[in-house]
Amino acid sequence: MKKVVIVGGGISGLAAAYTLQESKAQIEYTLIEKDARLGGKIQTKYDDGFVIEEGPDCFISTKPSVIQLAQKIGLTHHLIGTNDEHKGTYIYSDKRLHALPEGLMLLVPTKIVPFALSPLISWPGKFRMGLDFVLPRKKEQEDETLHSFVVRRLGHEAMNKIAEPLIGGIHGGAPETMSLKASFPSFLDMERDHGSLVRAMLAGRRKAKKRKPSPREGIPKSHFISFKGGMGELVTTLENKLEGQVLKGKEVTRITSTDTGFRVEIAGEEDILADGVILAVPAPQAAALLETIDPQGADLLHATPMASSATISFAYKSREVPQAKSFGVLIPYVEQTKMNAVTFTSVKWNHRVPGEEYTLLRVFFGGAKKSHYASVPDEELLGWAKEELSSILGITATPERYWIHRWIEARPQYTIGHLDRMQELTERLDKTPGLVVAGGSYRGIGVPDCINDGVKGAEEIIAYLGK
């Protein structure tokens, strides 16, 4: 029997462990997690009937890995989609709330009339966006920032009022430093293949209409999906399925090479000798553990900056927040507010509050451009939220309860050169067979990407140990 150690019990490590287990390869594994609980950034808190998401609150349904995993572990009956009868997101711009125009796909308008009628973008701004049809495509395919790409194709107004709040919000990132190739490679393909983003989106829509949707019985149709009990259900269900050894509250402090594999040192525990190691931890922690085996590989990992963010969930009496009727509000950086966004959690999702008399909101601070906001004291953060919920949304009621969560240096930033660094890291790690890195810092930040990466890491180890 071969032995594999998985360091990190976030969704990447859990997916890797489950893949090893299901492979029926002659492999036994130990999963080691520093915290007392598994899940990493997936943290769902249950409090008097409130379901509070402190990390991700959903996943995108077009990437199938979460649904496939849910099917395997018998969790499909708990999948839920968004309440699309309340669909709609607002952008706070020039001190007013503007509905995001219907037909906007990511940041590209695909329906002319709603876009033309929307006051969000000025007429010169709309004209500039329209130039996307005629501007030549870029010849060279080298990496560029999201900011440079959007400004080049659609102009500054589209960048500041649409792309930055929409896309920056997903990544907690700064468009000025984000690598387009690493974060949104499809945009580059669209430009290359169609010469225009709008044309590409329209073609994509036509294709999607023609394609017969594959039957997905019991799978919600919405673009974003979660679980009745929150994202944490994915973690607890997976944990219950694991048959290997799981050590919680134990930190891996050092990994060294031996003649036959690796020595894994764990604080307060005996060392483990392993034939394979999956480092399913964020880049800074992976760098620290890689240091003794491959210092240059560790340097490549150190080059991934981490941003900080904080969220506050507020529970109100529903009658006191009649403003909560859509999915929420995004606030562009140029508005110079403290908050980045507000989600009307219990409007967007069912099963998040103990009864209709309550409404749950979630407010976001921080991200790459405002990371320092994530560390201000509770009182100050609450004061900012109160002030801006009032000035932006007219919410003046006192919340019944609130929950604050901080994510310090927790959100990896895929900056220019990220893909090259990851490629170089892969080539370096090929020289240390049996050692892989997996997770949100490397090949995609979303929960579906992390599952894919954990599965891929486990498959590589299975292939290597099976030789």
Ligand X SMILES: Cc1cc2nc3c(=O)[nH]c(=O)nc-3n(C[C@H](O)[C@H](O)[C@H](O)COP(=O)(O)OP(=O)(O)OC[C@H]3O[C@@H](n4cnc5c(N)ncnc54)[C@H](O)[C@@H]3O)c2cc1C
Q: Which residues bind ligand X (CB under 6 A)?
A: 7-13, 32-35, 40-42, 55-59, 251-252, 280-282, 285, 309, 311, 407, 410-411, 439-440, 445-447, 450
**Least distance (Å) between residue 44 CB and ligand X:** 12
DSSP 4-62: EEEE--BHHHHHHHHHHHHHT-SEEEEEEESSSSSBTT--EEEETTEEEESS---EETT
CB of 159 to ligand X, least distance (A): 22
- The amino acid at residue 204 is G
CB 34 within 8 A of CB 10: no
Q: Which is nearer to ligand X, 282 or 399 (CB)?
A: 282
CB 60 → ligand X: shortest distance, Å?
Answer: 7
Closer of 309 and 413 to ligand X (Cβ): 309
Nearer to ligand X, 170 or 334 (CB): 170
Classify burial at 280, counting beta carbons within 10 Å of its beta carbon; exposed 0-12, middle 13-18, buried 19 or more: buried
By CB neighbour count within 10 A (0-12 exposed, 13-18 middle, 19+ buried), where does 18 fall? Answer: buried
Residue 339 beta carbon to ligand X: minimum distance, rounded to whole angstroms: 14
Residues linked to residue 312 through DSSP beta bridges, in sequence order: 363, 404
3-state secondary structure at position 129: helix
Distance in Å, CB of 345 to ligand X, minimum: 12
In angstroms, give the least distance from the CB of 219 to ligand X.
17
The Cα-based distances of 106 to 175, 338, 378 in angstroms read 14, 24, 33
Instruction: CB nearer to ligand X: give 57 or 191.
Output: 57
Residue 393 burial (CB count, 10 A): 19
Residue 218 near residue 76 (C-beta atoms within 8 A): yes
Distance CA 93, CA 414 (A): 27
Strand bridging mode 27-33 / 44-47: unpaired
Q: How far is the CB of 40 from ligand X (least distance, A)?
A: 2
Closer to ligand X by Cβ: residue 151 or 429 = 429
When the beta carbons of 8 and 230 are compared against ligand X, the nearer one is 8
Q: Which is nearer to ligand X, 128 or 250 (CB)?
A: 250
Report DSSP state, residue 211.
Answer: S
Report the candidate in 186, 216, 214, 213 with the shortest Cα–Cα distance to residue 200.
186
Question: Least separation, in Å, of the C-beta of 135 and ligand X?
Answer: 32
- Closer of 43 and 93 to ligand X (Cβ): 43
Q: Please give the Cα distance from 430 to 438 (Å, whole number).
A: 14
